[in-house]
Amino acid sequence: MEHQPPPFFKTGPTPFARLLIFALLSLALLVADARFKYLDVLRAVAAVIIYPLQRIAGAPASIARRAGEFFVTHSSLREENARLTHENLGNAALLQQLQSLQAENAHLRGLLATRERVNTKSVLAEVLYAARDPFSRKIVVDRGFQQEVKSGQPVIDHAGVVGQVTRVYPWLSEVTLITDKDHLVPVLNVRNGLRAVLAGTGNDSALELRFVPLNADFQNGDRLVTSGIDGVYPPGLPVAEVSNVERNAAFLFARITCKPLAGVNSHAQVLIVSAERDMPQRPPGEEKPVRAKKSRKGG
């Protein structure tokens, strides 16, 4: 079992020297990635290497899900069908209204000579897995730039905003959820049009409104939708509902906790929306943010 080589055998650098080399390499990568974002190509290469493993690892769960779908009972299918028909009827009425409203809106906007607001297209994506990193809230979905997903596109489910595409690989992309600690969404209070910035907390069921003055009119149950002023999220997508407002005069800002409307952690499929909007040029000197990092005060 003794492996100590006599000194006349060449064994290369000592372990400590090797450790130094690899540690320095890793640190260089860390700094390059954290500060300069130069490593997208390297990351893409590694992503391609690991892609088959990711698909294989995801296979048991997706097979189980499909098997589960196969063995649904007749009654539950009928129930679901009845519910969906019902929903569909309700939606159809809204949709007809929407069409006429859209036409009217376009007409009015034409009269006022203002810009068209949004022109949305969407791609359905399946969630492969939630990132195993306890520090961040991310999911990986099975659509990448081969399917024309772009970094920065918002991701929604049937109830509201789920997050935003932050990294795109050839066949996969990474979505940062709105509950991620570093994620900000500019929102609008539907009830009174107050603007604010909604930030994740790292907690799955809580978001907080940042920089809202103590006297701002936010109440429990207020619905927040995207304001669209960031140029990233199309306006009007539901995001969250205010669940708790705490006003303490000792602090500068009110403490407003919200609940995400979308099932941020509980879906198998999401919709990646590509909102092509004609935005005015950004003022010079401001780099184009990938994330919606804006801190506009409400009111």
Partner 1 sequence: MMHSRAATPQEILLPVKPAFIVATLIAALLVNLLPWSGWWLWVRPDFVALVVLYWCIEQPRKIGFTAAWLLGLLMDVADGSLFGQHALAYSILAYAGIVLHRRVQRFSITPQVLHVIPLLLLNDVIVLVIRMLTGADFPGYQYFAGSFVGGALWPALSILLKLPQRPNADPDHV
Closest CB 285 distance from partner 1, rounded Å: 24
Strand partners, 125: 270
229, 296 in Cβ contact below 8 A?
yes
273, 154 in Cβ contact below 8 A?
yes
Closest CB 249 distance from partner 1, rounded Å: 27
Q: Which stretch binds partner 1 (CB under 8 A): 32-40, 67-75, 224-232, 255-263?
A: 32-40
Q: With binding defined as CB under 8 A, does residue 34 bind partner 1?
A: yes
Residues 6+ apart with CB under 8 A from 125: 141, 142, 143, 149, 155, 173, 269, 270, 271, 272
Q: Which stretch binds partner 1 (CB under 8 A): 13-21, 80-88, 100-108, 206-214?
A: 13-21
* Distance between CA atoms of residues 168 and 44, nearest Å: 8
Instruction: Specify the residue, 25 or 214, whose C-beta has the smaller distance to partner 1.
Output: 25
Closest CB 257 distance from partner 1, rounded Å: 17
Site for partner 1 in 200-259 (CB under 8 A): 202
Q: With binding defined as CB under 8 A, does residue 113 bind partner 1?
A: no
Closest CB 20 distance from partner 1, rounded Å: 9
Site for partner 1 in 115-144 (CB under 8 A): 128-136, 138, 140
Q: With binding defined as CB under 8 A, does residue 30 bind partner 1?
A: yes
Q: Which residue of 6, 7, 10, 15 would you call a contact of partner 1, by CB under 8 A?
A: 15
Instruction: Specify the residue, 15 or 280, whose C-beta has the smaller distance to partner 1.
Output: 15
Q: Which stretch binds partner 1 (CB under 8 A): 18-26, 86-94, 114-122, 274-282?
A: 18-26
222, 263 in Cβ contact below 8 A?
no
Instruction: Specify the residue, 6 or 134, whose C-beta has the smaller distance to partner 1.
Output: 134
The contact mask relative to partner 1 for 149-188 (x = CB under 8 A, - = no) is -----------------xx------x------xx------
* Distance between CA atoms of residues 236 and 258, nearest Å: 17
What is the torsion angle, in degrees rounded to the nearest 10, for the CA atoms of residue 196, residue 201, residue 206 and residue 212?
-20
Instruction: Specify the residue, 166 or 227, whose C-beta has the smaller distance to partner 1.
Output: 166
The contact mask relative to partner 1 for 54-73 (x = CB under 8 A, - = no) is x-xxx-xx------------
Among 136, 159, 148, 171, smallest CA distance to 270 is for 159
Q: Which residues bind partner 1 (CB under 8 A)?
A: 1, 3, 15-16, 18-19, 21-23, 25-30, 32-34, 39, 42-43, 46-47, 49-50, 53-54, 56-58, 60-61, 128-136, 138, 140, 166-167, 174, 181-182, 202
